[in-house]
Chain A
């Protein structure tokens, strides 16, 4: 089954404790991205990757890191989480290009206390 898998689905952590949210897709997609969703703000892009070893900042990259060592995986790293990073995070993937739909993971609800 074609899917984007995120882990964990829920996470509560403390300020400053490094964490990683994993994302994996099985569709051989070139393009992967991370979004955060906050009430009234919609989905805002954090980082995206056009292919292996190619990453770039989205609209709200501060406080986040990503890596793309393999085509299928695109982890999101919070080196020192802060309460303003409490949010619902989605990983997404698609084939590169302008005409193709995006598949989303199930989401990770992160709370930083």
Chain B
């Protein structure tokens, strides 16, 4: 079936270091969304990418959508302890209307 793989599963960084999580789909995506889930919380929408090769920034976060619309990445510059949580990508495969397929998530731990 349609799958979205995400790597790494877990990353531990020191505050100030950069962090990147990668998302790969088995089929072409019509768009991709990114969510953040704080420990004990629920997923919260961060951003949506729609166009091939699109790049969007939110302060220290940079989101990219691949040219083939099958992969995406989230890069955090100079991590802070407030960045702790699990980051999920979620893609809509072409022709599946509103159905979102979530990646397995990357858990980020940031220490001082």
Q: Do A and B bind each other?
A: yes
Chain A residues within 8 Å of B, Cβ to Cβ: 31, 33, 35, 40-45, 48, 50, 58-59, 90, 94, 96-99, 101-107
Find out whether the CB atom of B42 lies under 8 angstroms from the CB atom of A104: yes
Chain B residues within 8 Å of A, Cβ to Cβ: 1, 6, 9, 30-31, 33, 41-45, 48, 50, 88, 90, 92, 97-105
Minimum C-beta distance from B90 to chain A (A): 8
Contacts A45-B100, A104-B42 given: A98-B31 contact, CB under 8 Å? yes
Find out whether the CB atom of A41 lies under 8 angstroms from the CB atom of B42: no
Minimum C-beta distance from A28 to chain B (A): 15
Give Cα A102 to B48, complex, Å. 11
Contacts A42-B105, A43-B43 given: A99-B31 contact, CB under 8 Å? yes
Picked from A40, A50, A96, the residue with its CB within 8 Å of the CB of B104 is: A40
Find out whether the CB atom of B33 lies under 8 angstroms from the CB atom of A106: no
